[in-house]
Structure 1
């Protein structure tokens, strides 16, 4: 369950493995050190030992264990609790998969708790360790590294969704009657909404960090958080644009279906009108075949058929010009 536990001094990782409780004790005597503990799917006594070692707030611990929290930012005394939603897009299924990462931040430690398909924080940790100048600012610097990676991954999801929306628009305006992408549009709308739920609530939290409203965030880090906030804001704007495009595509698709139905009804009505002509003449003359039309006339039957054919032909020509056939 404990993925990694490391002690950092002056932004550099202390070699070797260390127990979380021992690492926490090490930071008491050294203000330039902090502990970064990574946990995946917390259960059982092992996580309880971490909770006791770092004196994590009970309410936040409950959220971390149960998961399914909305992105948020809460303060519990000297400990900050942040929830972020890493997202990935499965293009073959057109599905947005949402993970969850809870982060406990203190001036002496940072504990990350992962659930589900979340960003691989090992890569984030390794990337942060390559920049000790930034990491020496402590847990807030590690928090920035996590947020930066999560928000960067949002771009991949945005690009994938954008391609699928373009394909849907092409289907809507292809003019092919057998194509009805309504189900695909509804599915994409649902996935975009799920994506927006991961992004939108995170904006005020990151904005608070960007404005330096927390004592733990040194001025040097505020600029980094502002960059993350700007990136997140652009992503949120693009998501809003996606929802508008999908709504327009759905409306256009429904309009085209209505137009096609009207065209079908006009064709049916046109053929019914044409069929009504011979029916009318047949009803008048009875069609009992004794020379007709005024009975006992040698050319009456051929004349009746000719009149029917001529009337039907003229009506067909008129309807054809009107675009009903």
Structure 2
């Protein structure tokens, strides 16, 4: 994020915004304080509320408040306990980068932790991925998102919200759906890239037998296993979100989360297919290597067999005895050469007849 984010200081409380106020919800780039926006029940939209106004919006229980926090900033993290009064264990989970994806409901709010993903552009390894947690606190009329440096789902949803303020009017649960949907959709570009990896890998496997092809097979396999490890728990989480009754997620809202659950299942099925393709590709590679080794061994065996008469004949007539037949004949060398060549061609014909060559 490179553009400056102006910090506005509204004079009125969130609930007192005029009914005809034009929505000014916008993602404005670089962080200058806590980014937040509020959509009141009269249709007005505002952003960059002061801390007291955030408290007023929460206490009013009306409208839709969205507060985005960077967990690397202690001042922003303090809002979790000082303003929203979240449980210390829930706050700890939101700050721990190794927290498992999960959904838990507390008194008056729930916490949903999902894992989003992207390729690491700074490394030379094309199969290196980075996964980060995105935590959502959902209350009756507010949504709090907590993340680290990777904020693509939040930024994308905020840009969508700036174009469609009515998204916030649908409620905090629908707003959380939009954020989480972007986090899950981040897996689809990875699958597209994985598909390209698979195509190139199959061509390379059938074109060469070098060690680099084997290394790439295991690199892609490691990528697939890593994706499955991060995605599998989210399948169970969204199954709970879509089926367990909740005071914060109505049946009508849970229908939207079923779409996310369906996406997770589709991604998981695709990864399972890629895993099977990789196993088949590895088997094909090893089979080709084995066949090539068998062909080379077969050729070497044939050469050794055909050269056997040369070794036997030259060894017999090369012994140091005076009584060896043709040892002193002027035709001895040529006779032995003809015998050696004749036996060699005879063995070669037998091998071809038996289809051993």
Match of 1:15 in 2: 46
1:143 maps onto 2:210 in alignment: no
C-alpha distance 319-132 of structure 1, shift in aligned 2 (>3 A): same
Asked whether the equivalents of residues 212 and 222 of structure 1 are also in contact (C-alpha less than 8 Å), the reply is no
Which residue does 2:20 correspond to in 1? Answer: none
> Structure 1 178/200 Cα, relative in aligned 2: closer, same or farther at 3 Å?
closer
In 1, Cα distance between equivalents of 2:59 and 2:51: 13
The change in CA–CA distance for 1:277 and 1:205 in structure 2 (over 3 A counts) is same
| TM-score, normalised by the number of residues in structure 1 | 0.88
Structure 2 counterpart of 1:55: 85
Q: Identify which range, 52-61 or 133-142, moves more after superposition.
A: 133-142
Which whole-Å CA distance do the structure 2 matches of 1:11 and 1:50 have between them?
27
More displaced 10-residue stretch of structure 1: 131-140 or 276-285: 131-140
**Residues 24 and 53 in structure 1, CA contact (< 8 A), matched pair in contact too:** yes
Cα distance, 1:289–1:172 mapped onto 2, change above 3 Å: farther
Is 1:108 the counterpart of 2:141? The answer is yes
Distance 2:325 2:212 in 1: 51
Matches of 2:119 and 2:199, distance apart in 1:
16
Partners of 1:116 and 1:15 in 2: CA distance: 25
> 1:171/1:69 Cα in 2 relative to 1: closer, same or farther (>3 Å)?
same
Q: How does 1:1-325 map to 2 (within 5 A)?
A: 4-10=35-41, 14-29=45-60, 31-89=61-119, 93-174=126-207, 176-178=208-210, 181-211=213-243, 213-286=245-318, 293-319=325-351
Q: Which 10-residue stretch deviates more, 125-134 or 274-283?
A: 125-134
Report the CA distance between 1:184 and its aligned residue. 0.5
Residues 324, 43 of structure 1: alpha-carbon distance in 2 compared, 3 angstrom cutoff? farther
Q: Tell me how many residue pairs correspond in the alignment.
A: 323
Aligned partners of 1:11 and 1:137 also within 8 Å? no
User: Is the Cα–Cα contact under 8 Å of residues 73 and 82 in structure 1 kept in the other structure?
Assistant: yes
**CA displacement 1:189-224 (0-9 Å, x = unmatched):** 111111112222111222233236222112332221
1:164–1:122 Cα change, 3 Å: same
Unaligned runs of 5+ in 2: 1-30
Q: Deviations over 1:270-296 (max 9, x none)?
A: 222223221111121126698964433
After superposition, give the CA deviation of every residue in 1:82-140 in whole Å (9 maximum; x if it has no partner): 11111224697133332221111111322111134442412212313544444324221
- Structure 2 distance, partners of 1:266, 1:50, is 72
Contiguous gaps of at least 5 residues in structure 1: none
User: Residues 111 and 138 of structure 2 are in contact (CA less than 8 Å); yes or no, is this contact kept in structure 1?
Assistant: yes
Q: Secondary structure of 1:55's partner?
A: coil
Instruction: Tell me, yes or no, if the aligned pair for 1:99 and 1:117 is still in contact at 8 Å.
Output: yes
Give secondary structure in 1 for the equivalent of 2:186.
Answer: helix
Contact 2:71 2:148 in 1 (8 A): yes
Q: Secondary structure at the match of 1:143?
A: helix
Relative distance call for 1:90 and 1:260 in structure 2 (3 A) is farther
Report if aligned partners of 2:242, 2:258 keep a CA contact under 8 Å in 1: yes
What's the CA shift string for 1:7-47, capped at 9, x where partnerless? 22139563242134531222312x32232111223342441
Q: What is the SS of the residue equivalent to 1:56?
A: coil
TM-score (norm 2): 0.81
Contact kept? 1:97, 1:117, Cα under 8 Å: no
| RMSD of aligned Cα (Å) | 2.7
CA-CA distance at 1:183 after TM superposition: 0.8
